[in-house]
A and B are shown apart, each in its own frame.
Chain A
Amino acid sequence: MGNSPRGRRTAPLVIARVLVLCALASLLLGGTARADGVSSGADVQVAQTLGTRDLTIILRRMDIAPGPLHVDVVTHAGSAPGTLKLRASTAGTTFSETTVRLDDKPGVRSGRLQVDQPGPWELGLDDGTDTASIPFIVPARVIPPWEKATFGGFVATGVFLVLGLVVALRVRRPQLALISAGGMVAALAVAITGAMLSASTPPPPAPGTALDPTIDNIRDPYANAQMSTVDFSRPPVNLAVRSPNARSGALADVRLAISDGATGRPVDDLLVHDNALVHLVVISPTGRLWHLHPVRVGPGDYRVKFTPPEAGTYAVAAELARRGGGVQLVRATLEVAAGTDSPAEPVPTGAGKRVVHGNPVDVDVEPGTPTTITARFGRADLQPWLGMLGHLIVVGPITDDSRVGAAAATAPTWAHVHSMIPRSPGMPGKPDETVAAFGPDVPFTYTFAAPGEYRLWLQAERDYAVLTVPLRIEVPAEGAPR
């Protein structure tokens, strides 16, 4: 039949039709696969206390390098006007830079940088006085092995099909087409197996969060896929806090030296965790609280500036996460010499109504084990801060109201409680600070480990200002606060 005159005439037509179908199929399959297979990151939000400004740097997700990198800078209430230079650099070489003008109105300012290749990069910030660098990863387009098998299999199937048709129609011995048919079945089996295994194939260890990122492992993370069963966690850190010239009433330059707990080497593998590299909570002798985000200046070298209003011992706690996973809390103290002292912070009350920076807040404490503390802010216009609706710092038991800092430094409980933002259906990722639509109630639930007098600081954001509500709660022996 293959060599009949009719077959000879129709054969080119059949072959042409099959080729068109194969091309169509490969186009359709190719299109969907590219959309699924891109390993594009999400937005990265990093809070930075740069000089006297509290900034949130948002690195917008990027799909392909070379290409533009959009950086949004969120300024907060009370932020001084000025300029901020942004620099994108890799392996110590600056590739692009831009300047963002900051005015005194809080909000979002945008800048655009260029990156030319996937790999580990650093975003440099420079406000003229202080500098910071944030490590980040420019992702590569990665094709997983199962995807290669699936596409290779389907392409081979198409080729074998055409080959088989040609052989069946044009060759004197049409049974030779069986060779092509066999190849087609094998290729189809490979393609379908690849597609079926795709859902259950474990992802390779991620460069950045599990492994130190390099250009090679970002381009081909599957080269190290066999390491995915290893425990990637690293030793705890040691923290040294130094601010030799700190005086009350003057801007203090606080330097944090973070070193590895096993080798003593500077730690340069901190991950962005809860929207910051380091969350530094500082408590003053009369009970004022700062929640700062030190900037990275070099390996293991983090710096932050703040104005201590009173002399004495301050409690310092740093919350951070190293590559390989696990969040750790390290505590230290900071001595501030006498300068110009501000009036002492009044001892806060427990539940009830109060006004914080012009915002009426009603705090409700529901005693028990666990205890639920709810702050009612009145209007549903709260903004997410550090990816959360609210933060609650719990420290205690503390008995001496004039030495809160020193007592907090050795207090058995030091907790950082979160109030989550409900996930909006259909919205991937977390909302950033530009969305002012949350609240008005901010609930926290915490289990007090021991009875005593606790100091609490509740934080939420409205109009680009972080509102801190100090509280004092007495936890009785049976575990239920009054």
Chain B
Amino acid sequence: MSSTVDRRRPVLLISVVAVLVVAIVAWLVWPSSGGAQVQRSTQGPYTVQLSVEDPHQGGNVFALTVTGATPDVVTLEPVMPQMGHALAPSPAIAEAPGRFRTGDVLLPMPGQWEITVSLRGPSGATQHVFPLLVK
């Protein structure tokens, strides 16, 4: 009666060990996953949400959601503060009411960047600065 149980035990044991190892590895590795960077800022009439998928050296596309008021002109100005280097502003194009998207914005170096989003419209003009770490 017990022989069939005993033959199954090694399989059970090995699977338990395997599940344990996978669980521990997953727990250790979990927070380092990259993904979308989403940041919000409220100033004056505008609330801006900036999101960028896995910011990296090279071309990045920034998506902006503006609520509160509707701006006419939205530009994005990347600066690398440590290098003392500012890039020319990139326009963000409206793709739906309150939703804007830039073309490929070339970030030539990994490190700490500051992305300034400038909004201009009938409700006023504001500048929102978002820190961004580029890998």
Residue ranges of A at the interface with B (Cβ–Cβ < 8 Å):
91-93, 145, 148-149, 152, 156, 159-160, 163, 167, 171-173, 176, 179-180, 183, 211-217, 220, 222-224, 227, 230-235, 260-265, 268-269, 299, 323-324
Contact of A156 among B14, B24, B42, B79 (CB under 8 A): B24
Inter-chain contacts of B112 with A (CB < 8 A): 211-212, 232
B26-37 CB mask vs A (1 if < 8 Å, else 0) is 011001100001
B73-88 CB mask vs A (1 if < 8 Å, else 0) is 0000001011111100
Per the bound structure, the CA–CA distance linking A93 and B17 in Å amounts to 49
Closest to A214 in B: B131
Inter-chain contacts of A216 with B (CB < 8 A): 37
B101-132 CB mask vs A (1 if < 8 Å, else 0) is 00000000001101010000000000101010
CB pair B27 A263 closer than 8 Å: no
Do A230 and B84 contact each other (CB < 8 Å), given the known contacts A167-B9, A173-B6, A265-B79? no
Inter-chain contacts of A299 with B (CB < 8 A): 127, 129
Inter-chain contacts of A213 with B (CB < 8 A): 131
- The A-contacting residues of B in range 1-57, CB under 8 angstroms, are 2-3, 6, 9-10, 13-14, 16-17, 20-21, 24, 27-28, 31-32, 37, 39-43, 47
CB pair B81 A227 closer than 8 Å: no
Asked if B69 CB lies within 8 Å of chain A CBs, one says: no
- Measured CB to CB, the closest approach of chain B to A19, in angstroms, equals 16
CB pair B79 A263 closer than 8 Å: yes
CB pair A167 B82 closer than 8 Å: no
CB pair A261 B31 closer than 8 Å: no
CB pair B6 A172 closer than 8 Å: yes
Per the bound structure, the CA–CA distance linking A172 and B6 in Å amounts to 6
Inter-chain contacts of B28 with A (CB < 8 A): 145, 148-149, 152
CB pair A167 B41 closer than 8 Å: no
- Measured CB to CB, the closest approach of chain B to A236, in angstroms, equals 9
Inter-chain contacts of B10 with A (CB < 8 A): 173, 176
Per the bound structure, the CA–CA distance linking A304 and B114 in Å amounts to 28
Per the bound structure, the CA–CA distance linking A269 and B2 in Å amounts to 71
CB pair B84 A167 closer than 8 Å: no
Contact of B133 among A148, A152, A217, A234 (CB under 8 A): A217
5 closest A-B pairs by beta carbon, nearest first, are: A262-B84, A212-B131, A92-B42, A263-B86, A235-B84
- Measured CB to CB, the closest approach of chain A to B46, in angstroms, equals 9
Per the bound structure, the CA–CA distance linking A240 and B2 in Å amounts to 88
Inter-chain contacts of A91 with B (CB < 8 A): 39-42
Q: Which of B20, B81, B84, B116 counts the most A-chain CB atoms under 10 A from its CB?
A: B81
Inter-chain contacts of B133 with A (CB < 8 A): 211, 214, 217, 224, 227
Inter-chain contacts of B85 with A (CB < 8 A): 262-263
Closest to A210 in B: B112
Per the bound structure, the CA–CA distance linking A163 and B13 in Å amounts to 8
- Measured CB to CB, the closest approach of chain A to B28, in angstroms, equals 6
Inter-chain contacts of A269 with B (CB < 8 A): 81
Could you give 9 example pairs across A and B, Cβ below 8 Å? A93-B42, A149-B28, A152-B28, A163-B16, A172-B6, A217-B133, A220-B31, A232-B82, A260-B84
Inter-chain contacts of A149 with B (CB < 8 A): 28
Q: Which of A167, A171, A261 counts the most B-chain CB atoms under 10 A from its CB?
A: A171
- Measured CB to CB, the closest approach of chain A to B78, in angstroms, equals 11
Per the bound structure, the CA–CA distance linking A163 and B83 in Å amounts to 56
Inter-chain contacts of B40 with A (CB < 8 A): 91
Inter-chain contacts of A234 with B (CB < 8 A): 81-82, 84
Per the bound structure, the CA–CA distance linking A215 and B6 in Å amounts to 52
- Measured CB to CB, the closest approach of chain B to A264, in angstroms, equals 8
Contact of A324 among B9, B43, B82 (CB under 8 A): B82
Closest to B34 in A: A223
Per the bound structure, the CA–CA distance linking A212 and B113 in Å amounts to 9
Closest to A213 in B: B131
CB pair A179 B84 closer than 8 Å: no
CB pair B6 A159 closer than 8 Å: no
Inter-chain contacts of B2 with A (CB < 8 A): 172
Do A230 and B111 contact each other (CB < 8 Å), given the known contacts A172-B3, A223-B31, A262-B84? yes
Closest to B126 in A: A92
Inter-chain contacts of A265 with B (CB < 8 A): 79, 86, 116
Closest to A94 in B: B42
Per the bound structure, the CA–CA distance linking A105 and B85 in Å amounts to 50
Inter-chain contacts of A145 with B (CB < 8 A): 28
CB pair B3 A227 closer than 8 Å: no
- Measured CB to CB, the closest approach of chain B to A301, in angstroms, equals 12
CB pair B114 A212 closer than 8 Å: yes
- Measured CB to CB, the closest approach of chain B to A184, in angstroms, equals 11
